[in-house]
Amino acid sequence: MSTLPVVVAVDGSEHSLRALDWALDAARRRGAPLRVAHVRHHVAWTPPGAPVVVPPPADDDPVLADAGARVEAAGTAGTTGAGPSAQYLALDGAPGALLPELGAEAQLLVLGSRGRGGFAGLLLGSNGMTAARDAECPVVIVPPPGREVDDLLPSEPGARVVVGLKADAPDDATLALAFAEAALREARVQVIAAYPWPIQTWVAPGDLVLPVYDQDAVEHETRTLADGFLTAHRTRHPEVPVEVRPAPGDAAGLLVAASKNADLVVVGRHRRRLLAPARMLGSVTHAVLLHAASPVAVVPPAAAEE
C-alpha cells in the first residue's frame, strides 16, 4: 500500500516557502513523499480589449521551479539526510476551492499563514482558513517568525508538542496526532486542560450564595479526567513523555501562550452539531490559528463524528 504524501501549497511568497521547509521536514520524518502544489488563480473573464491572461504551462511554472530548487538544495545539504521523493503539481482555479481538495489524498496539508494575495496586515489568509475548515486531512498552518505571545505558561526547554484537551469532550483524533508527532520529533506532549475559574453561579437578584467550589478540587478533577483520556495514547506511545497542565482560564489564551517555543500546537476542528451542520472552526481553534507563535495543526473529527 502506497504512503500518502505530505502536500504543501506554494505561491512564491515567503510565507509559502516557510511552509515548504516545514512540509519537507515533515515528509522526511514520516518517510513519505512530498507533493508541492501551486494553485494558479487567473482571471477567467477580461474586459473587451484587455489582454487575455494565459497561465504558463504546468511544466514551465516558475513558482514550482523555485520550489524544486529549494527542495533539491535541502536534500543535498548533507545535514538532514536524503530528502523525500517530490512531485510538483500546477492547478488552475480558485485556491479556496482547490486547496481543501488536495487534502483528500494527503497525510498533511501544509500552508503558510497567508499568500501573495493577502493584505499585509492579515494574520491568516482566507485560503488557509478555508483549508483548515474543509480539508479531510489535518492542516498545518506555519506562521511568520517573531510573533510575540504572553508567557503565561513557562515551560522547560526541549522539543514540545502542545495539545488542547477538553475534559468534558475529549477528541481522540487530536490527541492521536499530537502523540504521533511528538514520537516523530522525540518530543514531549504538553497537554493543556483548561477549566473555568471562578465558576459562575446564577442566582436571583439579591440572593446571597456562599462559594461551594474549591479550586484545588476542580484542578485535581480536571487532571484526573485528563489522565484517564490519555491512557490509550500513552500505551500506544510509551516512549513519549507527557506533561499534563490543568490551568484556569480561557483555553485559547492558554494554548496561544503555550505556543511560545513549541514545535507544534495541535487543536481539533469544531464538530458538527444538529443545529449547526456546516463545517466550521471553533472559537478556540480560530483564535489559536490567528495568534499562535508556532505552527498549528487543525485536526478534522473522525468520519463518524462528521
The grid coordinates of residue 305 equal 463524528
Q: Given a cut of 60, is residue 280 above it in pLDDT? A: no
Q: What is the pLDDT of residues 32-54, one digit of tens each?
A: 999 999 988 764 445 566 555 55
Q: Given a cut of 80, is residue 24 above it in pLDDT? A: yes
Q: What is the pLDDT of residues 263-273, one digit of tens each?
A: 999 999 865 44
Ramachandran area for residue 144 (φ above 0: left; ψ -120 to 50: alpha; else beta): beta
Whole-number Å distance between alpha carbons of 35 and 86: 6
Residue 274 pLDDT? 44
DSSP, residue by residue, 19-57: HHHHHHHHHHHHT--EEEEEEE---S---TTSPPP-PPP
pTM: 0.83
The residue with greater pLDDT, 170 or 204, is 170
Strand partners, 297: 140, 266
The residue with greater pLDDT, 214 or 304, is 214
Question: Domain limits of the chain?
Answer: 6-142, 160-202+211-299
Is domain 6-142 given the CATH code 3.40.50.620 in the classification? yes
Q: Name the pLDDT band for 170 (thresholds 50, 70, 90).
A: confident
Q: Name the pLDDT band for 208 (thresholds 50, 70, 90).
A: low
Q: What is the CA radius of gyration of the chain?
A: 21
Mean pLDDT of 106-130: 71
Amino acid symbol at 187: A
The separation between CA 72 and the C-alpha centre of its own chain, rounded to angstroms, equals 26
H or E segment and range at residue 108: strand 108-112
Domains 6-142 and 160-202+211-299 in one fold: yes
Q: Given a cut of 80, is residue 86 above it in pLDDT? A: yes
Residue 273: CA atoms inside 13 Å, Cβ hemisphere, count?
Answer: 7
Whole-number Å distance between alpha carbons of 16 and 143: 10
Whole-number Å distance between alpha carbons of 74 and 240: 28
Q: Name the pLDDT band for 156 (thresholds 50, 70, 90).
A: confident
Q: Given a cut of 70, is residue 147 above it in pLDDT? A: yes
Residue 42 pLDDT? 60
CATH no. for 160-202+211-299: 3.40.50.12370
Instruction: List, in order, residues 6 or more apart from 98 with CB less than 8 Å away.
Output: 39, 91
